[in-house]
Structure 1
Amino acid sequence: MPRARANGLELEYDTFGDPAGPPLVLVMGLGAQMITWEAGFCELLAGRGFHVVRFDNRDAGLSTWLDDLAAAELSAAGRADAPYLLSDFADDTVGLLDALGFAKAHVAGASMGGMIVQQLAIDHPDRLLSVTSIMSTTGDPAVGQISAAALATLTRPPAATREEAIEQSVVNFRTTGSPGYPATEDHLRHKATRAYDRAVHPAGTLRQTMAILASGDRTERLREVTLPTVVVHGDSDLMIDVSGGKATAAAIPGAELVVLPGMGHDLPEPLWPEIVDAIVRATARADG
């Protein structure tokens, strides 16, 4: 796969669809790799005429790992000490647009990726055409809380072997996935195995977590966003409660809110058409 030099990093990416189509950049979440945007989902978007780009964020997948930075940690007062912030992820994405020759692009982000596209809309509105924030939140600690069950899956001791790591991922996926659209055991195990064998980088995930915590609440800045925006969230999300999506839509003037019954913290294939339609509605408003 190709790599782009962006913001002093190398970002692994790939593309789907006609390069002459309007660019749509997909931004993935905490510790997740670009392959979490499954190829079939990207192909659905490409079939709607977009030049689709997915990529690995810094400290994830096959993009640059920043292990030379200071360790990320929480202070005794609970303050996050982070070597970079969500604004740096946003700058990375702009660097990717530059490297690919995109003056402007539609963007869609999931989970932490939703936070990143929100930050993009705040910091770089002139580089965006539309925004779709999926299963994300504003950074306000009063909304979008994680459930006890999801938190327990994230705070287990690290796996010692490949087999343990894959099993932990399967349990995570099963716990936080969509109860209305349960994935098969084979699908979850395939997804976990593919991700582990492609790249595994717990230290990077910790730095990304601290970046989220240290970046704070975006609510007031989101009130200044004028870009066409759609917010998608599942009503059964245990990782980021649906209140996070509702707060995001309430903060951004004119944002459309789409709450999908039975959807958890994943992108189940039966809901791909509805999610794609939501993204397309945001892009159509930009065209209008």
Structure 2
Amino acid sequence: APYLLDDMADDAAGLLDALGWESAHVVGASMGGMIAQSLAIRHPRRVRSLTSIMSTPSPHAAPPSEAAMAALMGPVSPDRETAIRQSLVTWEVIGSPGYPLDRERIARVAGLSYDRSYDPAGTARQLAGIIASGDRTPLLKDIEVPALVLHGEDDQLVPLAGGVATAGAIPGARLITFPGMGHDLPRPLWPEFVAAIDELTAVADG
């Protein structure tokens, strides 16, 4: 793998340095959750609280469904419009079956992402980085900051087992699961996410 999760965690610590922040409440979703876990492991003094969303401590703890993997690793799009259509197909598979799919927003973000930098090989590099980074479970047991784990009960890309494993590995972590939520953040659930994270940060700040 050209880079690991630890490398990206070190980048996050470097960003804190650049901002002049001694520490921060850290929230990460999906691969970002894995990076957040690595940041709390490698730079514990920089993390005031940890929220891991739809993530996992190990690629083997919650393997994706075949349909999700096929959608994620779909064919390379030859142009912008095809890339947008492919993104819609992907989110139809891995999104939240219990909530309406915001097709307009997905198409808009997919178009902006294509314009910024369309690099299909990046997905493969990220997947390689996740697999090569191995299992963080033993190291998560040393985390001492307040921790929260949020996970959808209908996630096909990182199944619920990943959230259960994360919460089980971090001492005192709180696990909240959401029926009908897949591998995205449905807008109707935003108030619940915000309330849970706000409660966590309040505890962390004492």
Which TM-score band applies after superposition, normalised by the shorter structure? over 0.9
Alpha-carbon deviation of 1:161? 1.6
Q: Distance in 1 between matches of 2:89 and 2:29?
A: 20
| 2:154 matched residue in structure 1 | 236
The TM-score normalised by the length of structure 2 is: 0.96
Q: Which runs of 4+ in 1 moved over 6 A?
A: none
Task: Determine if contact 1:140/1:218 at 8 Å carries over to the other structure.
Answer: no
| 1:153 matched residue in structure 2 | 71
| 1:251 matched residue in structure 2 | 169
Q: Does 1:113 align with 2:25?
A: no
Alpha-carbon deviation of 1:140? 5.0
Per-residue Cα deviation, 1:23-51 (whole angstroms, up to 9, x for no partner) = xxxxxxxxxxxxxxxxxxxxxxxxxxxxx
Task: Determine if contact 2:59/2:131 at 8 Å carries over to the other structure.
Answer: no
Alpha-carbon deviation of 1:160? 1.4
Per-residue Cα deviation, 1:158-178 (whole angstroms, up to 9, x for no partner) = 111212111111101111111
Q: Does 1:85 align with 2:4?
A: yes
Q: Distance in 2 between matches of 1:140 and 1:225?
A: 20
| 1:72 matched residue in structure 2 | none
Q: Distance in 2 between matches of 1:122 and 1:99?
A: 20
Q: Distance in 1 between matches of 2:110 and 2:3?
A: 27
Q: Does 1:170 align with 2:170?
A: no
2:101 to 183, 195, 216: 183
Q: Does 1:129 align with 2:45?
A: no
Per-residue Cα deviation, 1:143-163 (whole angstroms, up to 9, x for no partner) = 222011111112322111212
2:57 to 128, 135, 138: 138
1:192 to 92, 95, 110: 110
Q: CA RMSD in A?
A: 1.2
| 2:124 matched residue in structure 1 | 206
Identify the structure with the greater helix proportion: 2
| 1:275 matched residue in structure 2 | 193
Q: Distance in 2 between matches of 1:185 and 1:213?
A: 31
The TM-score normalised by the length of structure 1 is: 0.69
Per-residue Cα deviation, 1:227-250 (whole angstroms, up to 9, x for no partner) = 110000000101100000011000
Alpha-carbon deviation of 1:183? 1.7
Task: Determine if contact 2:50/2:147 at 8 Å carries over to the other structure.
Answer: yes
User: Structure 2: any 5+ residue segments left out of the alignment?
Assistant: none
Q: Does 1:266 align with 2:184?
A: yes
Per-residue Cα deviation, 1:51-101 (whole angstroms, up to 9, x for no partner) = xxxxxxxxxxxxxxxxxxxxxxxxxxxxxxx12111000000000000001
Q: Assess, with a 3 A threshold, how the Cα gap between structure 1 residues 174 and 140 changes in structure 2: closer, same or farther.
A: closer
Q: Assess, with a 3 A threshold, how the Cα gap between structure 1 residues 232 and 182 changes in structure 2: closer, same or farther.
A: same
Q: Distance in 2 between matches of 1:114 and 1:138?
A: 9
Which amino acid is the alignment partner of residue 50 of structure 2? Answer: V
Which amino acid is the alignment partner of residue 208 of structure 1? Answer: Q
Alpha-carbon deviation of 1:204? 2.6
SS in 2 for 1:120: helix
Q: Distance in 1 between matches of 2:102 and 2:129?
A: 33
| 2:141 matched residue in structure 1 | 223
1:99 to 18, 21, 46: 18
User: Structure 1: any 5+ residue segments left out of the alignment?
Assistant: 1-81
